[in-house]
Amino acid sequence: MKRHLKTVGFFLAALFVMVGALVFMPPQDSLRSLLSKIPLGLSAPVFVLLYVAANFVVVDIKDAFKLVGAIVFGAWMSAFLIYIAELLNAVIFFNLSRKLGQEFARKMLKNGAGFYDRLSQLPVYWVFLLRAVPVIPYRVLDIVFGMSAMRFNRYMLAAVLASFPRILFIQIPLAAVGSFSMEGFMDYWRNHPKILFAGFCYIVFTAVVVIAFHLRFKAVSRPVVK
């Protein structure tokens, strides 16, 4: 009974935060104006806290935060602030998933226990690679690994090491273009062939990791023949 009350309480609290974020989250132009007017020592933590709160909003508005951060703070500083925010998100959603979703996944989902047991057997470098490639959203990884038996310290080690390059890869062209204009990105890449080549290598790296992970996970799932 206490467990059910805690779960209901959590979802009511999450709903309250979500509604509050929807009501009080400033529009993109207002946020940009606000952060530009206050000192860095205040604007940086405000940006991080709002970015974390944005994860509780149904509508995905983090792209707006990435753009505002790139314009206000520049590529490297905005990437660092988003990196801190994403690590905080990893801590929050991994532990929420573990406390509220692990038992449900094992009892209710078909073949859930076997799937999450196989996830927990993956070495840290596989978690590192999954955090590094821009295919799977961070929240999906936080929640899925939180429902597995993987130790929190192991997951956070991979998150700390792998997240910054992926974030920086987005913030550098975004700060230069100043919008999510595909035409602007194409012009930027044409004028910066080294960045374009690095992006191509990143895409190839992502494809290789996805294929290798599929083969690895398939191998782990095979029963051992004695």
What are the 10-residue block averages of pLDDT along the chain, 226 residues in total?
56 55 58 83 90 72 85 94 95 86 62 66 81 83 86 91 89 88 82 79 76 67 47
Q: What is the pLDDT of residue 199?
A: 74
Q: What is the pLDDT of residue 226?
A: 42
Q: What is the pLDDT of residue 50?
A: 87
> Do residues 118 and 220 lie in contact, with contact meaning Cβ atoms separated by under 8 Å?
yes
| Helices 152-177 + 182-191 axis angle, to 10 | 90
Q: What is the pLDDT of residue 225?
A: 43
Q: What is the pLDDT of residue 114?
A: 65
CA separation for the pair 214, 26 (Å, rounded): 41
> Do residues 205 and 189 lie in contact, with contact meaning Cβ atoms separated by under 8 Å?
no
Domains of the chain by residue range? 2-221
Q: What is the pLDDT of residue 70?
A: 92
Q: What is the pLDDT of residue 36?
A: 84
CA separation for the pair 76, 70 (Å, rounded): 8
